[in-house]
Structure 1
Amino acid sequence: MTSLGTLEDLPQSYRDKLTELNLVPLWPNMRAVLPHKVPSRKTQTLNWHFNDLRPLLIEAGDLTPMEKAERRVLVLANPGHGLTNMQATPSIYMGLQLILPGETAPNHRHTPNAVRIIIEGEGATTIVDGEPCVMERGDLILTPSGKWHEHQHEGDGPIIWLDILDLPLIYQLEGSWAIEGKAQNQTLKRDKSFAEYSAAGVVPELGFQRENTDSPMLRYPWAKTRDCLVEMAKHYPNSPLRIAYVNPENGASLFPSIGFGAMMLRPNETLSLPKRTTACVFHIVEGQGALSVDTNNVIQWTEKDTLSAPGYTEIILWNESSTEPAFIITADEAPLHRYLGIF
């Protein structure tokens, strides 16, 4: 590899002239932004253990009332990107959100796309443009860019979910903003997307990408997804059990920026994922096991944990139970990489 000139090779007077005109020489930084063969990666392999985080989230409920928070969230920040940047991967934000009984997270809308994965609790509803979406464990609930949404909790005990947004991407594009709105008092009498699309929304993960519009299905019930994976296991005893969440009307990913999927690991099963360009996050719905990245970075996981792993790596997952399957929801930047032609 050719050794390029450094900034120190240039006379100070020349460097001062460049600075005055807001100029920077490329060649001293060429290898940093265009490394050979494999990109530089800031995403670290990490597990946010739910049992460690839950007490702090509950304490936040005591320390900060809803009217002082708007959204009571602890951000899952990957230290490789800097904690203040609120990134789990280059373009994915994640946070654990808490609502207590009787509370409402007020109505607003914003430019980033968002998905909620329900972790704990019952009796809460997300209202999206007037459509009530019941929040049950493992469900995916969509609040696409620009849609009004609020969260109401009329049950007992706290409800906790995982927020996944393309906020870092939209923020870096200088397009991130929100608008507050009035409470959505007039709502539909049913969960429309569940009633009309309750048997749709998941397909085998084929790696295709079609033209994307907002999915008409806002709630993807975990019970349906789990049943699909269990049924697949009966017919494909030797194949990986993975599905993709898609728009039921056109087969496109839920968002053009983030793709979502789910997988099932049979008892004692080890699964080596295809090596891919995109970083990935894993939310454990059921089970316990381990994840390794490039064979030398092994971390344990159990249900309700959330993990991250960088792209361009060999990722292996295994289920440590000899009797029970494990179920995992995934999120990655594959739709964005495909659109950009770098997948």
Structure 2
Amino acid sequence: MEQLARLEDLPVTYVDTLKQNNLVPLWPSLRNVLPPVKPVPLTQAIAWKFQEIKPLLIEAGELTPIEKAERRVLVLANPGHGLDNMRATSVIYLGMQLLLPKEWAPAHRHTPNAVRLIVEGENAYTTVEGQKCPMSHGDLILTPSGLWHEHGHDGDEPVIWLDVLDLPLVYYMEASFVEGGECQPVVSVLDKPRYGAGLVPTKHHIRAETDYPMLRYPWAEAKQLLIDLAKEQTDAPVQVAYVNPETGEDCQKIIGYSALMIRPNETVQLPPRSAAQVFHVIEGQVELKIDAQTFALDKADTACAPCFAAVDLINHSSEACFIFVADEAPIQKKLGLYSVRERR
């Protein structure tokens, strides 16, 4: 494509007149908003090390009581978007949240969708619309848009989890807000999986009252499924998606979630996709290559890959590695923007 005229090529008086009338010439910036062939993402390849985050999060617990914080979180911010914008990607927000023993993070509800991936600690819980969800390592818990939720901790050691929200997108749409509420009465405890073996409770299957029949996805169940699949699919990557068990659709509407197993001494190559991705190590170690950059990830580390990046996941260990993945595919598919390309 030939070079377009620059803003500097226009008379200053003409440009000033445009500004006075709240007008902007498109052609000098056309290639910025419509770059050739593929986007030029602000999202950078980056990794956050849990061993560096944890002591700062524990210190935050000493510096700020939960009553003054509401949610005690350190945001995993991507410098490509500017740290003050608190984005991991253009759609995904990430935060490491701390809850100390006997603390209660008060009930609220907000427009962004959120999930909690439990990183460390036991005996905490999240209550969503009266459904009490125990929080154990690796569990995924949904707190969808508009649903009341709160966090409590009955244990003796700090609990840390990874928050994943579609906050950047909802905020950009000027639709982001929160409402405070009172402590919720517990209606039921979701301590055992309610879906399995191709069976669903009839009262939910013939239902119209909720889009989220499953709020807690236990890691023990997901891990065992990955191990079983690895025995059957010996020549293919092993990955499972977190879905609505009644519809088979993504468990939330904007961000997609999955779990990936990297076998011992295995390399998994992911094709370039239009959706940015986040990787969080639940168990094990992995070498993550994103285009020309390489990151050594240990348990509880988190990393981000921009759109159309070539991603390699390399397990040099004799033990399997399990990775939680969040990506922007659901919203892109709904908008007809999603695509996958061949690696070069």
What is the TM-score normalised by the length of structure 1?
Answer: 0.94
Residue 330 of structure 2 corresponds to 335
Displacement after TM superposition at 1:199 (Å): 5.7
Unaligned runs of 5+ in 1: 202-212
CA distance in 1, matches of 2:198, 2:148: 24
Aligned to 2:297: 301
Which SS does the other structure have where 2:194 is aligned?
helix
Amino acid paired to 1:163: D
CA contact (8 A) 2:143 2:149 kept: yes
Quick one: percent identity of the two aligned structures?
Answer: 54
Q: What SS does structure 2 have at the residue aligned with 1:227?
A: helix
Counterpart for residue 128 of structure 2? 128
Match for residue 325 of structure 1? 320
Q: How has the CA–CA distance of structure 1 residues 301 and 195 changed in structure 2, closer, same or farther, with 3 Å as cutoff?
A: closer
In 1, Cα distance between the equivalents of 2:7 and 2:290? 35
Contact 1:199/1:224 (CA < 8 Å) preserved in 2? Answer: no
Per the TM alignment, residue 200 of structure 1 is displaced from its structure 2 partner at its CA by 6.9
Q: 1:166 and 2:163 equivalent?
A: no
SS of the aligned residue for 2:137 comes to coil
Post-superposition offset of 1:107: 0.3
Give secondary structure in 2 for the equivalent of 1:232: helix
Is the Cα contact below 8 Å between 2:76 and 2:96 reproduced in 1? yes
CA distance in 1, matches of 2:87, 2:285: 25
Q: Please tell me whether the aligned partners of residues 215 and 248 of structure 1 are also in contact (alpha carbons under 8 angstroms).
A: no
In structure 1, C-alpha distance between the alignment counterparts of 2:188 and 2:170, rounded to whole Å: 33
Q: What SS class does the counterpart of residue 14 from structure 2 fall into?
A: helix
Aligned partners of 1:215 and 1:249 also within 8 Å? no
CA 1:200–1:181: 2 relative to 1, 3 Å: farther
Q: What does 1:1-343 correspond to in 2, within 5 Å? A: 1-184=1-184, 186-191=185-190, 194-197=192-195, 214-294=211-291, 296-321=292-317, 323-343=318-338
Equivalences, count: 328
Distance 1:135 1:160, change over 3 A: same
Structure 2 stretches lacking a partner, 5+ long: 200-209, 339-344
Q: Deviations over 1:147-169 (max 9, x none)?
A: 00000001011000000000000
C-alpha separation between the residues in 1 aligned to 2:312 and 2:333? 23
Deviation digits for residues 166-195 of structure 1, max 9, x if unmatched? 0000000000000000111x2124217x45
Aligned-partner SS, 2:189: coil
Distance verdict in 2 for CA 1:235–1:81, change over 3 Å:
same
Q: CA offsets per residue over residues 260-303 of structure 1, 9 Å max, x none? A: 00110110000001221111000100111211122x21111011
SS in 2 for 1:231: helix
Deviation at 1:2, TM superposition (A): 1.2
TM-score computed with the length of structure 2 as normaliser = 0.93
Q: Which consecutive segments of 4 or more residues in structure 1 shift more than 3 A?
A: 198-201
**What is residue 204 of structure 2 aligned with on the other side?**
none
Deviations 1:122-157 (A, max 9, x none): 111100000000000000000000000000001011
Contact 2:193–2:218 under 8 Å retained in 1:
no
CA distance in structure 2 between the partners assigned to 1:275 and 1:234 by the alignment: 27
State the Cα RMSD in Å: 1.3
